[in-house]
Amino acid sequence: MMLSSRIGTSALSGLMTIVAGMLTLCLPVLLFFSRAGADVAVSVVAVLFVLRSVLLGSWDWTRAGWFRLALLFWAVMVLSSDLAGPRASLIQAVLSLRFFLFCAATATWAFRASGPRRVFGAVCSVLALWVVLQSWIQFLTGHNLSGFPRWNDGALTGPFYKPRAGNAFLMVFFPGVMPPVLALLRQRRVALQAAGVLVLFVCVATMILIGQRMPTLLLLTGLGLTALLVRRLRWPVLGALGVAAAVLAALPVLSPPTYAKLVLKFTQQISHFTQSAYGQLYIRAAVMISDHPLIGLGFDGFRNFCNAPAYARGLPSLGLPFIPDGENCNIHPHNYYFQAGVSAGLTGLALFVGMILAWGRTMVRALEPSERPMQAMLMVACVVVLWPLASTSALFSLPPAGWIFLLAGAALAASGERQ
């Protein structure tokens, strides 16, 4: 009877592992094309992970430093949501635990073996190729393969209807494109090395032509970090920056709307940042955090309370103005760190940053770019995704949350994290 029970437990655990692995490998595709499907995948993997832990009595993963910090951050946000209301925010705060569980599942279970991580890299490679192909088709013909034209502001939409190609391409670029590029550059044949450089140049040119500012800046930032880590890549990256400059210089002819958005509007926003829409959102978030520094205003606190007259002011002591007619409110503050601060106060923000630093510590300790290029590129992807000086979507919405915790989990798994 005991042997039969053990066999049944092992079979059930194996089935859970197969299902979780398949869902995790499908997640990049779902994050591209099905927000609801991605949420289902994340939730199912998180639930299966907990059930497996109960079944096997295996809870070692809960001792990871990053997970304990994540759990404390989540607890503060739940408490804040309960106190600030409304009830829908409390429910959303409670359910946000699934993202941390999914990250732990990816790091210690679904992607623990190298095989699934290799498949994950291949999936990202195919998705990156699909974005590049569709973007160039749309650039050359005016429509993508689905018949959708480029966006009104000149942005290429790639395989999508709306201008999402830039961020989607950024998410798969480092795990899907850079490991093959590095592999080609390590070859002795000059033709293969040239092929690697060509792939890099085409991808950078594609991102410029897509015409989305923040993904372009983050991709170039990530390439700079990669060049610091991998000596062999330094000259190719300098060449890629030259390609980026050349395409930017040609944009007034190639795509005047893209030039106006990518260069002219960006320059204006940076030169008058505090008066810009993003600047005003950040100032409003800073005001809300300064008024509720301990535990913040709960999940969706920015959305729920942004229009309250009490927060309609600047911070003159810091030289941050308030513009009454500006775009001061939105459904989220467009920055993960401001959102964490509004949702859980400075306490939650410190825990959130601590979780990220714990991730980074594990990744840096395992860093061997020449021997483990995928691990290095996953680390770079995490740095890019969590770069603090960036305009972002909502922290706990999909697809952003899916990419954050998928890439972090994959990077931790590749780093050989010991729980």
pLDDT in tens, 176-215: 999 999 999 999 899 999 999 999 999 999 999 999 999 9
If we measure between CA atoms, which residue out of 267, 173, 177 comes closest to residue 213?
267
* Banded pLDDT at 6 (limits 50, 70, 90): low
C-beta of residue 173 within 8 angstroms of C-beta of residue 191 = no
152 versus 352: the higher-pLDDT residue is 352
Show the beta-strand stretches assigned E in 44-106. Answer: none
Per the prediction, the chain carries an average pLDDT of 92
Tell me: pLDDT of 3 over 70: no
Tokens of 48: 């299966």
Residue 5 has pLDDT above 70, yes or no: no
DSSP sequence for 259-319: HIIIIIIHHHHHHTGGGSHHHHHHHHHHHHHHHSTTTTT-TTHHHHHTT-GGG---BGGGT
Query: In the chain, what are the domain boundaries?
Result: 2-58+96-271+366-414
Burial of 413 (0-12, 13-18, 19+ CB in 10 A): buried
pLDDT tens per residue, range 353-396: 999 999 999 999 999 998 899 999 999 999 999 999 999 999 99
pLDDT at residue 158, as a whole number: 93
Instruction: Give pLDDT, residue 261.
Output: 82
CB 123 within 8 Å of CB 28? yes
Instruction: Assess whether pLDDT exceeds 60 at residue 4.
Output: no
**pLDDT tens digits, residue range 254-293?**
888 888 888 888 888 888 888 888 889 999 999 999 999 9
Region 311-315: what's the mean pLDDT? Answer: 89
Whether the CB-CB separation of 387 and 353 falls below 8 Å is answered with: no
Contact 113, 58 (CB under 8 A): no
For residue 244, give the nearest of 211, 195, 196 by alpha carbon. 211
**The pLDDT of residue 317:** 80
**Exposed/middle/buried for residue 294 (C-beta within 10 Å: 0-12, 13-18, 19+):** exposed
Contacts of 106 (CB under 8 A, 6+ apart): 24, 45, 405, 406, 408, 409, 410, 412, 413
Give 277's contacts (C-beta < 8 A, 6+ positions apart).
326, 327
How do residues 28-77 score in pLDDT, each as one tens digit? 999 999 999 999 999 999 999 999 999 998 899 999 999 999 999 999 99
Q: Name the strand (E) or helix (H) holding 164.
A: none
pLDDT exceeds cutoff 60 at 132: yes
pLDDT of 272: 80
Residue pair 232/183 in contact by the 8 Å Cβ criterion: no
Q: Residue 134 carries which side chain, given as an amino acid letter?
A: Q
Phi–psi pair at 148, nearest 5 degrees? -80, 135
DSSP string, 304-364: HHTT-GGG---BGGGTB---TTS----SS-SSHHHHHHHHHHHHHHHHHHHHHHHHHHHHH
Contacts of residues 311-316 at CB distance under 8 Å and 24 or more positions apart, as own/partner, are: 311/284, 311/287, 313/287, 314/283, 314/287, 315/283, 315/286, 315/287, 315/290
Position 418 scores a pLDDT of: 42
- Residues 307-331, mean pLDDT to the nearest whole number: 84
pLDDT number for residue 417: 47
- Are the beta carbons of 130 and 141 closer than 8 angstroms? no
The pTM assigned to this predicted structure is 0.94
Write down the pLDDT at residue 319.
78
